[in-house]
Amino acid sequence: MLNKLIETFAWLVGGLIALSYVPCLLGAIVHAVGTFRLLVILGILSVVAYLKHESRPPSAGRRRGGSGAERTPQIPKGDD
C-alpha cells in the first residue's frame, strides 16, 4: 500500500516537472519564430484542419443499437 502511494507520488512529481517545461518551450518557439508568424501558422493550420474535416464523405447511416425489428408480442393461447 505504501509502495503504491510512493510510486503514484513520484509519477505526480515527474508530471509536474515535465509540465513546468511547457511554458519554457512555448516561449522559445515564440521567440524563435515570432508572434505574428506563429499566429499566421496556427490560423493556416486551423483552416486546413477545418477543410479536411468538412471534405470527408458522409458516413453511411448507422444502425440503431436496439434489439432488432419491433414485433408484435405473441400472446399465449389459453385453455378456454
Chain Cα centroid distance, residue 31: 29
Is the pTM higher than 0.75? The answer reads no
pLDDT of residue 59: 66
Q: If you average pLDDT over residues 38-62, what whole number do you get?
A: 84
pLDDT of residue 67: 60
The most distant pair of C-alpha atoms in the chain lies apart, rounded to whole Å, by: 91
Q: Computed over its alpha carbons, how large is the radius of gyration of the chain?
A: 29
Q: For cell 493556416, what's the residue?
A: 44
